[in-house]
Amino acid sequence: MSTTRRRRPALIALALLAASGCLALGWWQWTRFESASGTFQNLGYALQWPAFAGFCVYAYYKFVRYEDAPPEPRDDRIVTEIPDGLLPERPEAAPHNNDDPALREYNAYLADLAKADNDNDRRQNRTTA
């Protein structure tokens, strides 16, 4: 007997406890909705909690089915590819325009600053010690 089958009563109790707790919270939200201070938010929660209870039961059902007949294991050696056209295409870079006189002037200014900075560093003879 598998260890999961031995734990099945505990799992049934857990699923029933979770589902009944969700249903109790749904009933509580319904009574809050019907009270004088109730809002439509309480009504939304009152309708939402039974769905959670249903999910608890469904999750237990799927667990038992996977235990009896587990899904086929995937073969990790098979290479999967993304089909063409699935992802958006990368945008192309805008062509660089070297004819811009303002850009040429600015680049020359930066080159002069870098040259002056290098000349200034050589003259200062900085040490770290």
* 116 falls within a domain: no
Residue 2, pLDDT score: 60
Mean pLDDT of 100-109: 89
* 91 falls within a domain: no
* 128 falls within a domain: no
Residue 40, domain extent: 3-68
Residue 126, pLDDT score: 62
Q: 1-5, 52-56, 118-122 — which one is most confidently predicted on average?
A: 52-56
Whole-number Cα distances in Å, 7 to 10, 43, 57, 58, 107: 5, 37, 17, 18, 75
* 20 falls within a domain: yes
Counted domains in the chain: 1
Q: Which long-range contacts (CB under 8 A, 24 or more apart) does 13-16 make?
A: 15/56, 15/57, 15/59, 15/60
pTM of the model: 0.52
* 90 falls within a domain: no
* 12 falls within a domain: yes
Please determine, for residue 110, whether its predicted confidence score (pLDDT) is greater than 60. Answer: yes
Q: Is 69 helix (H, G, I), strand (E, B) or coil?
A: coil
In the chain, the percentage of residues whose pLDDT exceeds 90 is 47
CA atoms of 98 and 104, how far apart (whole Å): 8
* 64 falls within a domain: yes
Confidence grade of residue 82 (pLDDT, cut at 50, 70, 90): confident
* 13 falls within a domain: yes
67 Cβ contact partners less than 8 Å away, ≥ 6 residues apart: 2, 4, 5
Please determine, for residue 109, whether its predicted confidence score (pLDDT) is greater than 80. Answer: yes
Confidence grade of residue 84 (pLDDT, cut at 50, 70, 90): confident
Please determine, for residue 120, whether its predicted confidence score (pLDDT) is greater than 60. Answer: yes
